[in-house]
Amino acid sequence: MSDRLPVRVMVEDAWDQVALEPSAATPLSNLKREALAKTRAAGDPDAYLLKYRGAEILDEARSLRDAGVVPHSTLIVLSRRRRPVR
């Protein structure tokens, strides 16, 4: 059995998604950083939040396994600050 956990990460700023296959022991913060880097989203990773199944993940130090992420899930990375609608 593989330790890899295929997931998709939607990065709102880039309006793009990336397919990743991290280890199930990978911290969520590392997953967020990798997704931001692959989509070339500018800014500090701490300025972004990570959501899974509609809820913000508050402890990004947890591993994907500990957070209950299942294979082929989609996570969302979006800015912590609301943007005005023009």
Residue 85 has pLDDT above 80, yes or no: no
**Element counts in the chain: helices (H) and strands (E):** 1, 5
Mean pLDDT for all residues in the chain: 92
User: What structural domains and CATH numbers belong to the chain?
Assistant: 7-79 (3.10.20.90)
Instruction: Output the pLDDT for position 51.
Output: 97
Quick one: which of 22, 79, 24 has its CA closest to 50? 79
Q: Assess contact for 13 and 32: CB atoms under 8 A.
A: no
Q: Cα(83)–Cα(9) distance, rounded to whole angstroms?
A: 21
The answer to whether the predicted template modeling score (pTM) of the entire model surpasses 0.95 is: no
**N- to C-terminal Cα separation, the chain:** 50
